């Protein structure tokens, strides 16, 4: 599975959009981009995933560049409860099962 690079931490004002970047320059054609988050010391929670098109659900939007070498997770109106560690993962959906987590980005949402 491809490796990802994320900034270690970011700040965001409450009510503003939080844009979390992820670089995955070695991603291969059949690998998807997944985002999870971990609030405090709970188990990680799935947010969204995509292959090459932009995706949106009730939690967030995922923007993947045309060359697929990077992506951005967007939380449109961040709240204090969005303070968490966000993990960007790339994974092959067709075969391998291993899901490898990196260090993630610690997002602080401030009032």
Partner 1 sequence: NAGVTQTPKFQVLKTGQSMTLQCAQDMNHEYMSWYRQDPGMGLRLIHYSVGAGITDQGEVPNGYNVSRSTTEDFPLRLLSAAPSQTSVYFCASRAGSGNEQFFGPGTRLTVL
Note the residues at the interface with partner 1 (CB under 8 A).
32, 34, 36, 41-46, 49, 85, 87, 92-104
Q: Cβ(109)–Cβ(83) under 8 Å? A: yes
Query: Least distance from C-beta 8 to partner 1, angstroms?
Result: 10
> Residue 87 has which token pair?
């993990």
Residue 34 phi/psi, 5-degree rounding, is: -115, 145
- What is the 8-class DSSP label of residue 80? G
Judged by CB, which is closer to partner 1: 15, or 102?
A: 102
Query: Least distance from C-beta 80 to partner 1, angstroms?
Result: 21
At 71 the three-state DSSP class reads strand
Judged by CB, which is closer to partner 1: 76, or 96?
A: 96
Judged by CB, which is closer to partner 1: 40, or 81?
A: 40
């Amino acid at each position: 599975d491809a490796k990802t690079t994320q900034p270690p931490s970011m700040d965001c004002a409450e009510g503003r959009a939080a844009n979390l970047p992820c670089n995955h320059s070695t991603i291969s054609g059949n690998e998807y981009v997944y985002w999870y988050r971990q609030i405090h010391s709970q188990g990680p929670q799935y947010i969204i995933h995509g292959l090459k098109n932009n995706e949106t659900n009730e939690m967030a939007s995922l923007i993947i560049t045309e060359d697929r070498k990077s992506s951005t997770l967007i939380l449109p109106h961040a709240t204090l409860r969005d303070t968490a560690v966000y993990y960007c993962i790339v994974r092959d959906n067709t075969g391998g099962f291993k899901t490898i987590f990196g260090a993630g980005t610690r997002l602080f949402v401030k009032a």
